[in-house]
Amino acid sequence: MIAAGLFAALLVIALILFLTGAIGGSDDKDSSTPGVQSAQAILQPVGGQAGTGKVELGKSQDQFAARLEFTDLAPTDGKDSYVLWATGSVGSFPLDETGVKENGTISKTIPIPAVVLCSIATDIFPTFKLSRLNPAERKAVIVQTSKAVAGKKGSLPDYKGKTAFEGPIVIDKTLKNSVASKCNEQTGTTQ
């Protein structure tokens, strides 16, 4: 799964470049980790999809992480995959790609860069979506992400795939304000 590892690495690099302003986007330049306890998104099935979906944000060891829990997904065949996207008014950005075995579940923890958490707390990305990508869509996302990593302004990957789940990210108002304030302090911006 070298391609999946490369895909994930490119996604994280491109998101950081986009959100720090290196390729367009916000002025967030956060390199430290604001103290957040947890937040979550309960994702609802879309378009005939059954099952449940949940993404819980928090800390795992010394880094931010997201715990992904999805059920009743159609298994992937090794060519297609599911992608978790952070979405908002600036566009969409893929955070993780994974295959699904016969049991139809995704149950894993993925690292989340602090800049992503700041983007969620400041409503740049207030929603998560899970989509299924075919090989052509996957290839397009990788190409677009590579362009973003190369520094092309405004080149976030286009949202691709058939949406299986989507839902808003819910953060307690006090916690959200605290995280947003910390992010803004560190970047010198205001809401």
Question: Could you give the maximum distance between any two Cα atoms of the chain, in Å?
Answer: 48
Per-residue pLDDT 10s for the chain (191 aa) are 444 444 444 444 444 444 444 333 333 333 333 334 568 999 999 999 999 999 998 877 778 889 999 999 999 998 999 999 999 988 888 899 999 999 999 999 999 877 778 888 888 899 999 999 999 999 999 888 778 767 776 667 889 999 999 999 998 888 788 777 878 776 665 55
**Residue 18 included in any domain:** no
DSSP 168-189: EEE--HHHHHHHHHHHHHHHT-
* Burial (Cβ within 10 Å: 0-12, 13-18, ≥19) of residue 127: middle
Q: Domain range for residue 88?
A: 32-135+161-187
**Residue 140 included in any domain:** no
Helix (H), strand (E) at residue 115: helix 114-121
Number of domains, the chain: 1
**Residue 146 included in any domain:** no
CATH number, domain containing residue 96: 2.60.40
